[in-house]
Chain A
Amino acid sequence: DAKTTQPPSMDCAEGRAANLPCNHSTISGNEYVYWYRQIHSQGPQYIIHGLKNNETNEMASLIITEDRKSSTLILPHATLRDTAVYYCIVRFDKIIFGKGTRLHILP
């Protein structure tokens, strides 16, 4: 079973930062937090991952709380192309997907 909890849907205005929360209160010390997104009818796309420290790449930033029980994915300047289902995953080995958050970017 998925070990994360995400809101089922969120809206964000185009050009604004999209902040997607995720709870993973049962995370183990050796499990990483991964984020993927899936645009309609395509395969899941890797976004970012982290263990303890905050991470940033060209797509997004990942903020992990000090107790590691929750995290936030930040898309700094959302565009219409960011409309997708975003999955937060706690992973040591294989990936188990939950239901994700459906992000709507509003023009």
Chain B
Amino acid sequence: DTGVSQDPRHKITKRGQNVTFRCDPISEHNRLYWYRQTLGQGPEFLTYFQNEAQLEKSRLLSDRFSAERPKGSFSTLEIQRTEQGDSAMYLCASSPLWTGSGNTIYFGEGSWLTVV
């Protein structure tokens, strides 16, 4: 257990429905990251926050995806109008603010999404 919690761990939804995933990072970690991983592939970067500010979004994050971190603590990733291609594991990670000393990013166990 790395201390990064994700909920729910598994979600099955019908195509067209909206889903939301929550991530609770390690306490006092300023940075929070979201990744997506499909079967047989490495994790793909989606977006990251520094406190409540969303600093970068990948082109993979289409208009149907939105991520928030309203108080700089937990974060949510919402997918609207889900498609079968959204089926994947969604990973959250957190780290202290970059200090130049090689801080470590810790990952949660992921949230599995199946769109049927």
**B-contacting residues of A (Cβ < 8 Å)?**
2, 30, 32, 34, 36, 41-46, 49-51, 85, 87, 93-100
Closest-by-CB residue of B relative to A51 is B102
> Which residues of B are found within 8 Å of A34, using beta-carbon distances?
104
- The answer to whether B110 has its CB under 8 Å from any CB of chain A is yes
**C-alpha gap A95/B35 in the complex (Å):** 10
Interface membership of B72, Cβ < 8 A: no
Of the candidate stretches B38-46, B59-67, B79-87, the one touching chain A is B38-46
Query: Any chain A CB within 8 A of the CB of B28?
Result: no
- When distances are taken between beta carbons in the complex, the residues of chain A under 8 Å from B107 are 36, 43-46
Q: Please, which residue of chain A has its CB at the minimum distance from the CB of B100?
A: A30
Assess whether B42 is in contact with A43, with CB atoms less than 8 Å apart.
no
**Chain B residues near A (Cβ < 8 Å):** 2, 4, 33, 35, 42-45, 48, 56, 89, 91, 93, 98, 100, 102, 104-110
Q: Is the interface of A mostly helix, strand, loop or mixed?
A: loop
B90 CB, nearest partner CB in chain A, Å: 10
CB atoms of B42 and A87 under 8 A apart: yes
In the bound complex, residues from chain B placing their C-beta under 8 Å from that of A100 are: 42
Do residues B105 and A95 form an inter-chain contact, with CB atoms below 8 A? yes
